[in-house]
Amino acid sequence: MEKREEMIRDLVSSSPRPQCDHSHPTPPKSPTNAPNDQPQNKKKKKNTSKATTSPTISKRVVATNRKGNFLSETAELFALQSQLARRTVEHDDYKKLKSTEIAQINSKHNKEISASNAAHKKTQRQLDLETAALDKAARLIVDLNALLQTLNKRLATEQCRMLRDEYWEEKKRRALAARRLERERSISFVFLFVAVVALGLMLWSYSSCSNAVRGV
């Protein structure tokens, strides 16, 4: 309503209105007053210093001017009202059109927002799943690393034990080999001593026999 009142005031203020000056009334030019106007015009030409109109004519002229002004203002008011009605209809149509466009834009925007929110939720859900999978993989890697360290410790312990056992076994083998070699050396020395003794006995018996034969 305020906008319509402002439009009416703007239209009324912008439209030109006929101005009437009641201090100097001028009678309208009509065929009925034409015979009376001609003598008055003649009197005006003859006597310019005297009053040219009587009080009755002045009242009639003022009433005619008021009636003409009222009719012109009424016609202008009707024209303004029709223009206002046309502008109001155009404004309502434009408002409906813009409301429809705004509703369509809002609907499209809401659909885009809904689609974007759905895509964002889907992406967020996928990101959460990937984050959970990465956390699980990280925990699995930590567990595998701990297990690998435990296995390395066990392997190192087992290798140390095996090396120690091999060292002692090798030491035992070397000791046995040394004792065997020492035994073999002792046996060889005994055999050599027996052979030398036997050889000495043989040489002694041979020399004895030779001496006996020579003595005979």
C-beta pairs of 6-9 under 8 Å, 24+ apart in sequence? 7/84, 7/87, 7/88, 7/91, 8/80, 8/84
**Dihedral, 30, 63, 27, 52 alpha carbons, nearest 10:** 130
Give the percent of the chain with pLDDT over 70. Answer: 67
Q: What is the pLDDT of residues 159-207, one digit of tens each?
A: 999 999 999 999 999 999 999 998 888 898 898 999 899 888 888 888 8
pLDDT of residue 12: 54
Return all residues near 39 (Cβ < 8 A) that are at least 6 apart.
Answer: none
For tokens 């043989």, the residue is: 202
Task: List the chain domain ranges.
Answer: 2-11+30-44+53-126
- Phi and psi angles of residue 23, each rounded to the nearest 5 degrees, phi first: -75, -30
For tokens 């006597």, the residue is: 47
For helices 2-14 and 55-215, what crossing angle results, to 10°? 130
Give the tokens for residue 187. Answer: 């046996």
104: enclosing H helix or E strand: helix 55-215
Q: Kindly tell me if the per-residue pLDDT of 15 is higher than 60.
A: no
Q: Kindly tell me if the per-residue pLDDT of 113 is higher than 90.
A: yes
The band of 120, judged by pLDDT with boundaries at 50, 70 and 90, is very high
Buried b / exposed e along 151-172 (16+ C-beta atoms within 10 A): eeeeeeeeeeeeeeeeeeeeee
pLDDT of residue 77: 85
Q: Kindly tell me if the per-residue pLDDT of 23 is higher than 50.
A: no
Residues 65 and 28 sit within 8 Å (Cβ to Cβ): yes
Give the residue, 176 or 18, on which the prediction is more confident: 176
The band of 3, judged by pLDDT with boundaries at 50, 70 and 90, is low
Q: How far apart are the first and last CA of the chain?
A: 183
Chain centroid, CA 57 distance in Å: 87
Q: Kindly tell me if the per-residue pLDDT of 44 is higher than 50.
A: no
User: Amino acid identity, residue 42?
Assistant: K
pLDDT of residue 57: 57
Mean pLDDT rounded to a whole number for the chain:
77
